Amino acid sequence: MAKPYYYMQSEISGEIQYHRSQPPVSIIICIKSSNNDLYQFLSNILDQDYPEFEVIAVTDGISDEDEEALIRLKNLYPNLYSTHVPDDTRNVSRKKLALTLGIKAAKYDKLLFTEPDCMIRTNHWISLIAGQFSDKKTIVLGFSAFENARNIFYKYMAYDYFVSNLQMISSALFNHPYAGNGRNMAYSKEHFIEQKGFVKHRTLQHGEDDLFINDIATGENTAIELSAQSITITEINDSNDWKQWKADRMSTQRFYKRGPVAFYRLEAFLHTVFYMVFVVCLIYSLLFTPQKNFVLPGIALFCLVGQLLSQGFIMNRTAERLQLGKFLLTIVLFDLFQPFIDLYFFAYQVLKGKENYTYHYEKR
């Protein structure tokens, strides 16, 4: 996962240079009732410094307060449009239906996606993401992060989300993209038409971002926008946001391209093996050697510390470049418990997997 850090270093040094385009952009946002300030969120997007764009808000059972905010904004911004998901819709993913309605209503070919729980850092967000489009690059993956809180549990959620997004970006930089994040990504409408929308995974409640990118992305057509000004930040209000995201990704992971998933699973397995080897060597030295020889556990500890230090350095420097809070030494603790938490969500997915299908309808 060091590739994103060195990629940003190359951009800063001028080794990577590219011409930024400014194609017209349609921004698609699915909006449900929440505690987020919808007026402020949409204002930040509508005030973007970009020559030609429209915002299409697709509502799904929003509150009266949010409805009023939307009406006020439509009176102020002529490039804001809205539609809604029918209340009586059943046995389909409402999120996929909302995005489908938004995409069909879009008048521009370049589609940019985010969600109302995100904070847009600057008014150059559209320029940075859309500027990566070219004749060959028809998909752009941006970076998304949870706000790094002081609370240790929220800090772990931010770490886990950070690692997941870092893996997606890393694979794309190695020309093996396998997923995207619906809070910050873009693609050409032609991909949606070619794939016949989300029909390939129509029986799943989720996958409108990661599985869709998994199906259309290649090393040749995918670009990366990785800068502190282009990322989106989501505040963690409670653990349910992270748990839902984690469960959703567990339900779609089995459809990912095998190569990148196998690589990161192997990496997680080797992390666990490092710890197990150290413990086994320590127990063997204490119980089964007459003079308590600590050479073996010393070697194992040296390798483990070296791996953790290199990992911690890269991840903290990457977070620093993106102007996110550092994880410092908590990475050691988080790295230790990561396999067990992933195992818990894997078991949860096995037991609750039927809920991920549209024929087990749940309005969410």
Model pTM score: 0.89
State the CB neighbour count (10 A cutoff) for residue 287. 8
pLDDT score of 354:
56
For residue 364, what pLDDT is reported? 39
Beta-strand pair 232-234/222-224: unpaired
d(CA 50, CA 123): 8
For residue 223, give the amino acid letter: A
* 47 CB burial (10 A radius; 0-12, 13-18, 19+): exposed
Query: Which strand ranges, in their side-by-side order, compose the sheet holding 25-32?
Result: 80-84, 53-60, 25-32, 110-113, 185-188, 139-141, 222-224
CA atoms within 13 A on the CB side of 311: 20
The one-digit pLDDT tens for each residue of the chain (364 residues) are 788 888 888 877 666 666 678 999 999 999 987 777 899 999 999 999 999 999 999 998 888 888 999 999 999 999 999 999 988 776 678 899 999 999 999 999 999 999 999 999 999 999 999 999 999 999 999 999 999 877 888 999 999 999 999 999 999 999 999 999 999 999 999 999 999 999 998 888 888 999 999 999 999 999 999 999 999 999 887 788 788 888 888 888 888 888 877 777 777 777 777 777 777 877 777 776 666 666 777 777 777 778 778 888 888 999 999 999 888 878 888 887 888 888 888 887 777 655 666 544 444 3
Q: Residue 358's pLDDT is what?
A: 58
Domain boundaries in the chain? 3-241, 260-353
Tokens 């008014």 locate to 123
| pLDDT computed for residue 344 by the predictor | 83
User: Do the beta carbons of residue 275 and residue 300 sit within 8 Å?
Assistant: no
Helix (H) / strand (E) element for 350: namely helix 330-352
For domain 3-241, which architecture applies?
Answer: Alpha-Beta Complex (3.90)
What are the C-alpha distances in Å from 257 to residues 2, 144, 337, 347? Answer: 21, 21, 26, 21
